[in-house]
A and B are shown apart, each in its own frame.
Chain A
Amino acid sequence: MRLYWEIARRGYGRYAAYPAATLAGAWTNTVFGFLQAYILLALYEHRTDIGGYDPSDAVTYVWLAQALLMTVFIFNWYELSLRIRDGNIATDLSRPLDPLWYWLAFDLGRSLYHLVFRGIPPFVVGMLVFDVRLPENPATWLLLVVSIALAVVVSFAFRFLYNLATFWLLDYRGVSRIAVTISALFSGFIVPLPFFPDWLEAVARVLPFAAMVQIPIDVFLEQAAGAEIAGLLLLQAAWAAILLGLARLVLRTAIQRVVVQGG
């Protein structure tokens, strides 16, 4: 356990080492937050309620989604792919460490850094400028933390899976681009799932991606209560377990037939 704690700290440190990049990134999140907030607000010219969101819910959604973007790391994670492609994976496999747990611990450390430095600052800016809604029940904050942690695990397992495809395809760009797009849309990052047409929202709700962004936002907006919240968190936990299990399985298969690249 101590070992994985240390690895998580490395994950945190890896990103903490580049404060200028973090600042630039937080600025980017902020600008996109502004654009997105104005676009959604323009919809309320005709209506007061869209899919259960009033204008205040909508802007809260926008800033939470920006805060979660880097925390759950929807875009551009291919470190594992790169190690598979250049053959460094051989070194990793010869270490007395389980690659899945190693990367999970590293990613959890990373996500804490991104939550604090990429997530919270844009959210605070958004709060100052827009009518952002904060939870009425203090316990919601605690549930939010649990929900975000589970979201990170689900997202990690999914990223780990599509990175493993590199073992077979030798290049990662095509697969990762498709994977990223699908998860960005169906997680509710681009447009909130309640804005989807009913049938499409129903599809999105049974896919694992909603567990990455939409569910933590549902929790924060207190749109669900009591048993329903418990159900949402359980759903996230279930997806985390299923995808980690799948990642374990694919990793085992890959290792059995691995052809290490280059050298």
Chain B
Amino acid sequence: MADALALYLRLVGAQARSQLQYRMSFVLDVTGVFLVTFLDFVAVLILFENVPSLDGWTLHEVAFLYACTCISFAVVDLVIGHLDLFPRMIREGTFDVVLIRPRGSLLQVIAADFALHRLGRVLQGGVVFAYALGGLDIDWDPGRVAMVGVMLVAGGLIFAAVWIAGATIAFWTVDGGEFTNTFTYGGNFLSQYPISIYGEWVRRFLAFVVPMAFVCYFPSLYVLDKEDTLGFPRAFQFASPLVAVAAAIVAGVVWTRAVRRYRSVGS
């Protein structure tokens, strides 16, 4: 494990250095990422210009959901990347090289897709989080503080699991990047708003089969002391860590299976 971590840091460090070479472009890039995600939040602000609340959630409560999702998503994006290069590895046959190296395949794929500019997204999540807290009157007992920490970690783990499981689609379709985006970016987008606003089957599929409701919605109900209009058991608000672990196990199994049955495109 320590060996894997050291290797990861080394591979990622090399890429960070190379990405700092075009200095001007890097600065623009981080600014760009920050702006992109920030304008994303401007959309939320614009919506709330028109209404006082969204299905019973105020602007600052939605901002809280938004920020928590964003931070989980952004940290995962930074640490494991979104495996964008992975379908190309399959298509061009370079995944073969990964397999003959004496290290875990997942580790190598993750380390190959590091982009330092994704810090911009983490930064933005932090800014929105501060904004949300500024407008909310939360009774900060130890349980709630702990829940925020648990939520961010579990949320990140769920995103990572979805990403990895999603990426394995490329083993079968050779080119599946866009399809996976529905679950990752789509999940992130979905999770920024209270899931009670979505239509029944969208909610069933994206919130429970792909367990996006556990990234943010259920834990936030507890932190913000809100009633669940959907009427789910209160235990759901504490279930995120279990869901996250289960998701991670599923993703791990899917990945291992997929690698085992992988046959090179041979080009």
User: What residues of chain A have their CB less than 8 Å away from a CB belonging to chain B?
Assistant: 18, 20-21, 24-25, 27-28, 31-32, 34-35, 38-39, 41-43, 45-47, 50-51, 169-171, 173-175, 177-178, 180-182, 184-185, 190-191, 195-197, 200
A178 to B28, CA, bound (A): 8
Report the 5 A-B pairs with minimum CB-CB distance, sorted nearest first.
A174-B28, A177-B32, A171-B25, A174-B29, A24-B179
Residues of chain A contacted by B31 (CB below 8 angstroms): 174, 178
Show 30 A/B contacts (Cβ-Cβ < 8 Å), sorted by A: A20-B175, A24-B173, A24-B178, A28-B179, A31-B206, A32-B186, A38-B197, A38-B198, A42-B197, A43-B50, A45-B55, A46-B51, A47-B51, A169-B22, A171-B29, A174-B24, A174-B26, A174-B28, A174-B117, A175-B32, A177-B35, A178-B28, A178-B31, A181-B36, A185-B43, A191-B43, A196-B49, A197-B46, A197-B49, A200-B46
A148 to B27, CA, bound (A): 35
Partner of B39, one of A31, A174, A185, A197: A185
Is B28 within 8 A of A21, CB to CB? no
Residues of chain B contacted by A39 (CB below 8 angstroms): 47, 54, 193, 197
Q: Tell me the B216-238 residues at the A interface (CB within 8 Å).
A: none
Residues of chain B contacted by A181 (CB below 8 angstroms): 32, 35-36, 39
A24 to B87, CA, bound (A): 13
Partner of B40, one of A42, A171, A190: A190
Is A28 within 8 A of B182, CB to CB? yes
**Is B266 an interface residue, CB under 8 A from the partner?**
no
CB distance from A163 to the nearest CB of B (A): 14
Partner of B25, one of A31, A47, A169: A169
CB distance from B37 to the nearest CB of A (A): 9
**Is B8 an interface residue, CB under 8 A from the partner?**
no
With A32-B186, A174-B32 already in contact, the answer to whether A38 and B51 are too (CB < 8 A) is: no
Interface of B is mostly: helix
A46 to B56, CA, bound (A): 11
A173 to B40, CA, bound (A): 18
Is B202 within 8 A of A35, CB to CB? yes
CB distance from B114 to the nearest CB of A (A): 14
User: What residues of chain B have their CB less than 8 Å away from a CB belonging to chain A?
Assistant: 22, 24-33, 35-36, 39-40, 42-43, 46-47, 49-55, 117, 173, 175-179, 181-182, 186, 189-190, 193, 197-199, 202, 206
Residues of chain A contacted by B50 (CB below 8 angstroms): 43, 47, 50-51, 195
Partner of B29, one of A41, A173, A190, A197: A173
Residues of chain A contacted by B24 (CB below 8 angstroms): 169, 174
Beyond the given pairs A174-B117, A178-B35, 14 more chain A to chain B contacts, judged by CB atoms under 8 angstroms and listed by A's residue number, are A27-B182, A31-B206, A34-B198, A34-B199, A35-B202, A169-B25, A171-B25, A175-B28, A177-B32, A177-B36, A180-B36, A195-B50, A196-B49, A197-B46
Is A184 within 8 A of B25, CB to CB? no
A195 to B198, CA, bound (A): 20
A41 to B35, CA, bound (A): 27
A82 to B175, CA, bound (A): 21
Residues of chain A contacted by B176 (CB below 8 angstroms): 24
Is A195 within 8 A of B49, CB to CB? yes
A41 to B196, CA, bound (A): 12
Partner of A191, one of B33, B46, B51, B55: B46
Is B178 within 8 A of A42, CB to CB? no
- Specify the chain A residue showing the minimal Cβ separation from B26: A174
Partner of A185, one of B42, B47, B53, B198: B42
Is B202 within 8 A of A34, CB to CB? yes
Is B179 within 8 A of A27, CB to CB? yes
A180 to B54, CA, bound (A): 28
Is B32 within 8 A of A20, CB to CB? no
- Specify the chain A residue showing the minimal Cβ separation from B38: A181
A25 to B36, CA, bound (A): 21
- Specify the chain B residue showing the minimal Cβ separation from A26: B178
CB distance from A73 to the nearest CB of B (A): 14
Is B25 within 8 A of A174, CB to CB? yes
